[in-house]
Amino acid sequence: MDYKIALIRGDGIGPEIVNEAVGIIDAVGERFGHTFSYTDVDLGGCATDKYGVSYPEGTAEKCRACDAVLLGAVGGPKWGPDRPAAERPETALLAIRKDLGLYANLRHATLRPALVDASPLKKETAEKGIDIMMVRELIGGIYFGKRGRYETEDRGVECTDLMAYSEMEIERIGRRAFELAQKRKKKVTSVDKANVLETSRLWRATMHRIAADYPDVELEDVLVDNCAMQLVRDPSQFDVIVTENMFGDILSDEASMVTGSLGLLPSASIGSGKPALYEPIHGSAPDIAGQDKANPIATVLSVAMMFKYSFDLSEESKAIEQAVDAVLSAGWHTADTMGEADKLVGCKEMGRLIREALKA
Ligand code: IPM
Ligand code: MG
């Protein structure tokens, strides 16, 4: 079967890490007998430079014509918050998520065996293991609420960002989380701030209502501040964490760091139809862009998620994960996960090593 993949290379280290990920896709194709065709899609700061807007017309249609979308990273100081919204890369990222209806963002934080030393946690805590599926609501809440900016008489400028959630939005993300938990350790931690926020009280009530349909799954509520603390105290207690958009943004960076590096965490953004979008959770790292220093592993592992969730090819997906583990266990590391006894490699060499491991 031939799979069509849209490539959004993006800004900063985006093009470098996507290159290596494409090499991995092709290597999987060779080993397992699939073929892939690629369509480049301009989105982000690079699109602003080319067309004057970060989200050119027709972007969503180009993606919809493909079976899956792979995104590197977008953003950078050149297109900072002072630029008009249409020129900012983040505007485009939110727009593509919304236009493709990708309401569920799955961020899988696992401590790879070779990286116990790279984790900032105490060894005895890290060794208990980390395998968290963070399910972040992606197209609602404060990210997409009404914004306002106005002058006041006595307090200068005042701004508002509205956080809104409907039962429908909460229910569909909640069901995703319960279904994922059924295939894992059967525990859902719902994270909210129900002691303060009305949206959180609806969130909590909705989670408990639908929980009745998943009697085999345990549901617990944790307040977001407590969750941030528990993630560094004992992350082994978590299985599936489900939370709203902004809490999920913040907690997933924290979850990635406890596994050793922001450069390791993949994500899948899924809606009710085709295509889903796969991207590393890290940003465009402009400080190291173009220097062959970036860690391509989060993007490579995003490809593993693509094989599993979009193509239903679990064996291929596992092969990619095993290849990554084999390379790390052999002591090859990019600068971000290097330990004293490890051997330093760049982005390209890391990609080549993973391809080699895939052939073996
Ligand atoms: C992420 C990023 C984005 C987000 C930014 C770049 C808009 O931080 O994917 O986590 O907040 O969703
Ligand atoms: Mg983020």
- If you measure from the C-alpha of residue 293 to the centroid of ligand 2, how many angstroms do you get, rounded to a whole number? 21
- If you measure from the C-alpha of residue 94 to the centroid of ligand 2, how many angstroms do you get, rounded to a whole number? 12
**Nearest Cα to Cα of residue 207 among 224, 189, 228:** 189
Which ligand is closest in space to the CA of residue 254?
Answer: 2
CA torsion sign, 334 to 335 to 336 to 341?
positive
pLDDT for 308 beyond 80:
yes
Note the pLDDT of residue 337: 87
pLDDT for 3 beyond 80:
yes
Q: What is the pLDDT of residues 68-124, one digit of tens each?
A: 999 999 999 999 999 999 999 999 999 999 999 999 999 999 998 888 888 999 999
Given the residues 117, 253, 292, 325, the one annotated as active site? 253
Q: Where are the alpha helices (DSSP H) in the chain?
A: 14-32, 45-51, 59-64, 89-99, 123-126, 167-182, 198-211, 224-233, 245-258, 297-309, 314-329, 347-359
CB 353 within 8 A of CB 343: no
Our mutation pick for probing the ligand 1 site, out of 55, 71, 93, counting the most ligand atoms within 8 A of Cβ, is 93
Q: What is the pLDDT of residues 129-146, one digit of tens each?
A: 999 999 999 999 999 999
In angstroms, the CA 86 to CA 68 distance is 25
Q: What is the pLDDT of residues 295-305, one digit of tens each?
A: 999 999 999 99
**How many residues can be counted in the chain?**
360
Q: What is the pLDDT of residues 148-203, one digit of tens each?
A: 999 999 999 999 999 999 999 999 999 999 999 999 999 999 999 999 999 999 99
Note the pLDDT of residue 338: 87
- If you measure from the C-alpha of residue 268 to the centroid of ligand 1, how many angstroms do you get, rounded to a whole number? 13
Residue owning the nearest CA to atom 12 of ligand 1: 249
pLDDT for 360 beyond 80:
no
Specify the pTM. Answer: 0.94
CA 118 to chain centre: 20
Ligand 1 atom index nearest CA of 253: 10
Which ligand is closest in space to the CA of residue 280?
Answer: 1
Ligand 1 atom index nearest CA of 279: 9
CB 12 within 8 A of CB 22: no
**Residue 143 bears catalytic tag:** yes
CA angle 273, 278, 283 (to 5 degrees): 140
Note the pLDDT of residue 263: 82
